[in-house]
């Protein structure tokens, strides 16, 4: 892709930042070294730096001209509890932690854009660069919103991107409306009556009951939910027993749930609870269900999605911009920023070779070829949104 000459960014600088971030990953709400590095970079570029939301978040603010219109650009900061297996010279120095989702690249792109935006100053308004902790596990976006993110830094719109190694290099993918799923987890504990494996008639076997529950759970999506209403129910863990001649007292089943429609989400919770209880009762035992709701579905706003699509086409070409036919079943806590402020979440492809590792893989590494594309587009989007001669207009600032 040919990045327009007038918004070319410092590629060597971004690569150095990205590799330094990759070398020292930190997991959710522990991103202290990461936050210090980001804050120092932003301050050196002339941004006002705010620290402390959601423990380790950093927000850099730059104002130019007299307008109070404002745009927010968000990058996630946290790594994952994965032991890196890349063999890279800049591989993780923090044992058991790595940037296996590309958040190091997201931060580097936004810092690269920060430099170009500050240098050019071709905007009229306010830029808020939001570096958010704990996307992977603790809901850092929700914490930031609840602690007053948009009260302290009002935005007319907020945007975020994620790298995607399943898409061709430089391919933009977006979608109006739902783009990422809600995610929940159910822990089902079966309380049986253990005993000798040679005398099952004197027990209430929770393994057999658990197997029945696993099979029954498969009928929720296939028989209780409309075919055009996307949902996934996955039994990811089944724990019970220790030997072939021992029937255990208890079994634990852990279930992951993905959905989009709030009514469907409610129904699935109800149905999982019913199946667990009634199946357990049919085997003369009891079940307890701990159902926890995690991130809500990520839903893009129409006006902001349309605006971003126009800018992406002008930046990359129409052949490089795709509207997704279906939302993704992954989840993303950027949803809570979109619930508080209009905006759009989108993907940029990073696949340049057939064997690139998927996200969350111990051998994954961010493709640095995407750095100038992401940083250049952030610059383009900011200057278009805050253009002095063509002010962006959407709904009322929230």
Active site residues: 78, 135
> CB neighbours (10 Å) of residue 201?
6
What gap in Å lies between CA 378 and CA 366, rounded to an integer?
18
248 near 278, Cβ under 8 Å? Answer: no
Supply φ then ψ for residue 197, to 5 degrees.
-65, -20
Q: What angle do CA 246, 250, 214 make, to 5 degrees?
A: 105
Residues 6+ apart with CB under 8 A from 78: 25, 26, 27, 28, 29, 30, 31, 103, 133, 134, 135, 136, 137, 140
Q: How far apart are CA 379 and CA 117, in angstroms?
A: 6
Rounded to whole angstroms, the Cα distance separating 297 from 230 reads: 12
Spatial CA neighbour of 171 closest among 305, 350, 345: 350
Q: Is 260 exposed, middle or buried (0-12, 13-18, 19+ CB in 10 A)?
A: buried
Residue corresponding to tokens 């935005």? 155
At 68 the three-state DSSP class reads coil
């Amino acid at each position: 892709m040919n990045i327009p000459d007038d918004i070319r960014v410092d590629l060597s600088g971004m690569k150095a930042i990205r590799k330094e971030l990759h070398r020292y990953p930190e997991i959710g709400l522990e991103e202290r070294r990461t936050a210090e590095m980001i804050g120092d970079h932003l301050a050196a570029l002339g941004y006002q730096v705010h620290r402390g939301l959601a423990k380790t978040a950093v927000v850099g603010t730059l104002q130019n001209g007299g307008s109070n219109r404002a745009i927010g650009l968000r990058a996630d900061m946290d790594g994952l509890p994965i032991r890196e297996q890349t063999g890279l010279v800049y591989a993780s120095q923090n044992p058991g932690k790595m940037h296996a989702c590309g958040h190091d690249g997201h931060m580097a792109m936004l810092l690269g854009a920060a430099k170009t935006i500050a240098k050019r100053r071709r905007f009229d308004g306010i830029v808020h660069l939001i570096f958010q902790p704990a996307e992977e596990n603790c809901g850092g976006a929700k914490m930031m919103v609840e602690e007053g993110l948009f009260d302290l830094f009002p935005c007319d719109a907020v945007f975020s991107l994620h790298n995607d190694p399943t898409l061709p290099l430089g391919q933009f993918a977006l979608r109006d409306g739902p783009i990422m799923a809600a995610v929940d987890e159910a822990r089902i504990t079966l309380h049986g009556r253990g005993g000798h494996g040679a005398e099952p008639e004197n027990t209430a076997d929770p393994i057999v009951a658990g197997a029945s529950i696993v099979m029954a759970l498969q009928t929720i999506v296939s028989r209780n939910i409309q075919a055009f209403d996307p949902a996934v129910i996955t039994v990811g863990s089944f724990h019970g027993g220790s030997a072939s001649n021992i029937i255990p007292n208890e079994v634990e089943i852990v279930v992951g749930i993905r959905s989009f429609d709030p009514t469907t989400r409610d129904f699935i919770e109800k149905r999982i609870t019913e199946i667990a209880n009634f199946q357990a009762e049919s085997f003369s035992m009891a079940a307890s269900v701990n159902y926890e709701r995690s991130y809500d579905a990520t839903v893009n706003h129409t006006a902001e999605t349309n605006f971003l699509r126009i800018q992406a086409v002008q930046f990359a070409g129409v052949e490089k911009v795709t509207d997704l036919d279906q939302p993704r079943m992954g989840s993303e806590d950027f949803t809570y920023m979109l619930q508080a402020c209009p905006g759009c979440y989108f993907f940029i492809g990073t696949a340049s070779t057939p064997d690139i590792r998927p996200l969350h893989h111990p051998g994954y590494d961010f493709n640095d070829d995407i750095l100038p594309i992401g940083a250049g587009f952030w610059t383009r989007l900011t200057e278009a949104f805050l253009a002095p001669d063509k002010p962006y207009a959407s709904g009322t600032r929230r």
